[in-house]
């Protein structure tokens, strides 16, 4: 794969909401059934990558793209998946919103599968309150050892990705003061967060087996590391991001993750060791990104000191520039990043709507419209 562009894909979790009052609706099963009966796009399990799937909560739906080689293809696939979700949701009287938490007060309900019901019983309030929507980026790797080399080398650069994607300032009708409250809620799972260096696929496998054998996790599907080897695909799966409000921001996130993977593999092949940054510092950097997003300082991945978010983003682009230029993505990624710097994240968008309306229902309505957006990616 030395001279090839790696394929990548995206999974997005979307809220199912009432078009009238913005409240989350427990209709994911009905949405899936509607899509099945009306010739919608393939569902999960039908082919190599499904487009619609239920999640832990009945108030959310997961979409997935096919593996893509270019930003243009990925952009089209993201919009296709969002469109399929919106069409099926409309068929049962709902709408979809790319929001990482619900601004409107909600008591979410569990999808009645045997596994999810077991999770609800085993994890109590952690599972009960877990109505959060993330974005997972998959990037192809050639082997588990290559994948683990990537996991070890991308760790310091994951908090800026959360800051870029931050899209969950509201929780149960209130402003939390955080840019990504989803990250705080997600962090309650026992296996979530950053990891130590693995150094080999063997150690990675042994670590997963030990965690599952502890009896604390139900299965290896609950390995909720910030980045992990996918169980189903030959990919590294980066899981830190909020679902992005705008499709273009998802494309940007995926472009940066693919470049991170490529940069890490090249460093591994060149014999460059991973940064031995401590896990507790990584956890602190992720908390800072969750709290501040792009509004304030972040922990710089290289210096470990506070730095303006703009400086950290510049450092990220400098780190990834050779890879982005090899794939032909640098100009497009830089343009999309400039738009985020100017327009702000989804969290900023939500707060601006609330500042004008003082109404979380209006926030959801605006987010439903913004979930479609106007494509700017090449």
* 153-202 pLDDT, tens digit each: 999 999 999 999 999 999 999 999 999 999 999 999 999 999 999 999 99
Closest CA to 316 of 333, 332, 328: 333
Of the chain, the percentage scoring pLDDT greater than 70 comes to: 95
Mean pLDDT across the stretch 342-363?
Answer: 98
Phi, psi (rounded to 5 degrees) for 61: -140, 140
Give, as one character, the DSSP assignment of residue 25.
-
Q: How far is CA 242 from CA 83, 147, 307, 366, in A?
A: 19, 23, 22, 18
* 269-312 pLDDT, tens digit each: 999 999 999 999 999 999 999 999 999 999 999 999 999 999 99
Pick left, alpha or beta for residue 209 (phi over 0 → left; psi -120 to 50 → alpha; otherwise beta).
Answer: alpha
Mean pLDDT across the stretch 89-115?
Answer: 97
- Per DSSP, helices labelled H in 228-343 are 247-269, 279-292, 309-327, 330-343
Please report how many Cα atoms fall inside a 13 Å half-sphere around the Cα of residue 294, on the Cβ side: 22
Give, as one character, the DSSP assignment of residue 7.
P
Which of helix, strand or coil describes residue 12? strand
Q: How confident is the model at residue 372 (pLDDT cuts 50, 70, 90)?
A: confident
Looking at residue 248, its pLDDT comes to 97
Average pLDDT, the chain: 95
List domains and CATH numbers for the chain. Answer: 8-372 (3.30.590.20)
Q: Which two tokens stand for residue 313?
A: 């983003």
199-204-206-207 Cα dihedral, nearest 10 degrees? 100
- Nearest-angstrom CA–CA distance, 375 and 93: 26
Of the chain, the percentage scoring pLDDT greater than 90 comes to: 92
* 65-81 pLDDT, tens digit each: 999 999 999 999 999 99
Looking at residue 46, its pLDDT comes to 43
Q: Classify residue 116 by burial, with Cβ atoms within 10 Å: 0-12, 13-18, 19+.
A: middle
- Nearest-angstrom CA–CA distance, 354 and 261: 37
Total-model pTM: 0.96
Q: How confident is the model at residue 373 (pLDDT cuts 50, 70, 90)?
A: low
Q: How far is CA 111 from CA 45, 117, 171, 269, 317, in A?
A: 18, 7, 21, 44, 40
Q: How confident is the model at residue 235 (pLDDT cuts 50, 70, 90)?
A: very high
Closest CA to 294 of 134, 106, 144, 166: 166
């Amino acid at each position: 794969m030395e001279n090839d562009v790696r394929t990548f894909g995206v999974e997005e979790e979307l809220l199912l909401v009432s078009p009238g009052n913005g409240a989350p609706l427990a209709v994911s099963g009905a949405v899936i059934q509607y899509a099945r009966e009306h010739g919608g796009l393939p569902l999960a399990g039908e082919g190599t990558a499904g487009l619609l799937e239920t999640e832990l909560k009945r108030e959310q739906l997961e979409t997935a793209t096919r593996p893509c080689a270019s930003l243009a293809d990925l952009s089209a696939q993201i919009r296709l998946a969002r469109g399929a979700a919106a069409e099926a949701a409309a068929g049962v009287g709902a709408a979809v919103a790319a929001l990482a938490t619900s601004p409107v007060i909600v008591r979410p309900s569990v999808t009645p599968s045997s596994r999810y019901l077991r999770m609800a019983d085993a994890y109590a309030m952690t599972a009960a309150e877990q109505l959060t929507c993330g974005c997972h980026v998959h990037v192809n790797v050639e082997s588990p050892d290559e994948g683990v080399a990537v996991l070890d080398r991308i760790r310091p650069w994951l908090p800026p990705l959360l800051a870029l994607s931050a899209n969950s300032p509201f929780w149960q009708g209130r402003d939390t003061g955080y840019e990504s409250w989803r990250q705080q809620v997600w962090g309650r799972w026992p296996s979530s967060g950053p990891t130590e260096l693995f150094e080999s696929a063997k150690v990675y496998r042994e670590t997963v087996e030990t965690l599952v054998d502890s009896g604390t996790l139900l299965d290896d599907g609950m390995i909720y590391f910030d980045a992990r080897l996918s169980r189903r695909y030959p990919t590294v799966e980066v899981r830190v991001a909020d679902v992005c409000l705008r499709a273009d921001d998802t494309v940007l996130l995926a472009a940066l993750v693919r470049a991170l993977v490529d940069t890490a593999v090249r460093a591994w092949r060149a014999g460059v060791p991973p940064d031995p940054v401590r896990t507790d510092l990584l956890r602190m950097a992720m908390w800072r990104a969750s709290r501040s997003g792009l509004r304030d300082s972040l922990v710089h991945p290289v210096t470990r000191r506070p730095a303006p978010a703009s400086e950290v983003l510049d450092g990220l682009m400098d780190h990834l520039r050779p890879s982005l230029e090899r794939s032909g993505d640098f100009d497009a990624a830089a343009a999309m990043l400039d738009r985020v710097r100017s327009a702000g994240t989804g969290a900023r968008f939500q707060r601006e709507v609330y500042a004008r309306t003082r109404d979380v229902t209006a926030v959801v309505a605006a987010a439903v419209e913004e979930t479609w957006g106007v494509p700017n990616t090449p």
